[in-house]
Amino acid sequence: MSAALEQVAQPDATPQPAVARRAPRRPARGTVLRWVILILAGIYFVGPLIAAISFTVQDHVHGGISFSAYRQIFATPATGQIGFTTALVYSLELSAITIVITLALMLPTQLLLHLRVPRARGIVETLTLLPLVFPPVVLVVGVSDTFAWVGDNKGGLSSFVTYIRGGGHPLVLALLYVTLAMPFVFRTIDAGIRSIDARTLVEAARGLGAGWLTVLFRVLMPPLRTAIINAAFLCFALVMGEYTISSILLYTKPFPVWLYQLPTTSGQVQAAVSVFSLLLVEVLLLMIGALNWRRGTQKRG
């Protein structure tokens, strides 16, 4: 320290170069490690996808690139089978219904747990974990047995079960998906509510004269938007990828079941179907995410 000060105090001492030479900057050890992990994770996740895409666009007969495998997905369906658009729209409808029912159940439940009955939170949290404990196959077998038992009774409940099982609308599937989505949606909304100090916001709004509906829609829902959209993401991804339940209950319209039942023996087409379904869900999720981001920035601007 003192040597440095002496050097500053003696301008005529050994001339210094105009620009001090900097030691070459070494990347920090942590930075290198981060990049290594990122690259490995990228290879792990993106590698198989790139390999699959590469396989689906290879023209094995003439060489070069061909999209014929993808064209076959959209080819006119054979008689008695449904086409791509029908299956996709069916699954989108199913997603929308699942999202609406899940949020309509979970949001008020969570708010009640946070604001009115915090003691019941542990019990409800445990209940929401049950769908993770029982595999979907167990769930669907139980549901099938219950439906069969209700059907035998021939009462009003039987008519209801017949109605929700009707092939024209996917209500029964939506109800099952609501159950499957419960553990994830519960925690997503829970985290959202914890981050906003809901109790104080409710009290502030009530004190200013707001009724309960105003509190819910004007005060609580806007700051919970991200949590709600994330919950919707989870429901959507779950519905677009769920095969077991709809297949066992003999529903052929959902998109994953339709993909599986495509009448082809070509490995290239089957790979193209997998890639396409993956990318489609990704694109739809990104679209919803972009909408959320845009709204967020507009509000801040």
Partner 1 sequence: MSAVTSIAPSGVVQSGTTVEYRDVYRVFGAMSALAGLSLRIEPGELLALLGPSGCGKTTALRLLAGFDRPTSGSLLIDGQDVSNVPANKRDMGMVFQSYSLFPTMSARDNVAFGLRMRGQSGPQRRGRAVELLELVGLGEHAKKFPHQLSGGQQQRVALARALAISPRVLLLDEPLSALDAKVREQLRDEIRRLQLELGVTTVFVTHDQEEALSLADRVGVMRDGRLEQCAAPQELYDRPATQFVAEFVGRMNRLDAVAEPGSMVRVGTQLLPADGASPAGGGPIQILVRPEALVVTPDSNGDTVVMVATFRGATTRLRLLRADGVELLADVASHLAPEVAQGRRVSVSLLERPVLVAASSEQEVPIDE
**Closest by CA position to 66, among listed 47, 75, 53, 77:** 53
- Compute the distance between CA of residue 191 and CA of residue 199 in angstroms, rounded to an integer: 14
Instruction: Decide if residue 196 touches partner 1 (CB under 8 A).
Output: yes
| 99-138 footprint of partner 1 as x/- string (CB under 8 A) | ----------------------------------------
Instruction: Decide if residue 222 touches partner 1 (CB under 8 A).
Output: yes
Instruction: Decide if residue 208 touches partner 1 (CB under 8 A).
Output: yes
**Closest by CA position to 52, among listed 73, 64, 70, 39:** 70
- Compute the distance between CA of residue 88 and CA of residue 240 in angstroms, rounded to an integer: 9
Half-sphere exposure of 282 (CA within 13 A, CB side): 7
What minimum distance in Å lies between the beta carbon of 292 and partner 1? 13
Of the candidate residues 105, 164, 210, 285, the single one contacting partner 1 (CB under 8 A): 210
| 139-178 footprint of partner 1 as x/- string (CB under 8 A) | ----------------------------------------
Instruction: Decide if residue 77 touches partner 1 (CB under 8 A).
Output: no
Q: What is the DSSP letter of 12?
A: T
- The CA-atom distances, in angstroms, between 196 and each of 111, 119, 199, 201, 223 are 12, 20, 9, 8, 7
Of the candidate residues 178, 205, 228, 234, the single one contacting partner 1 (CB under 8 A): 205
Instruction: Decide if residue 216 touches partner 1 (CB under 8 A).
Output: no
Task: Name residue 58's beta-bridge partners.
Answer: 65
What minimum distance in Å lies between the beta carbon of 285 and partner 1? 23
Residues at the site binding partner 1, with contacts judged by CB under 8 A: 196-197, 200-201, 203-211, 214, 219, 222-223, 225, 299-300
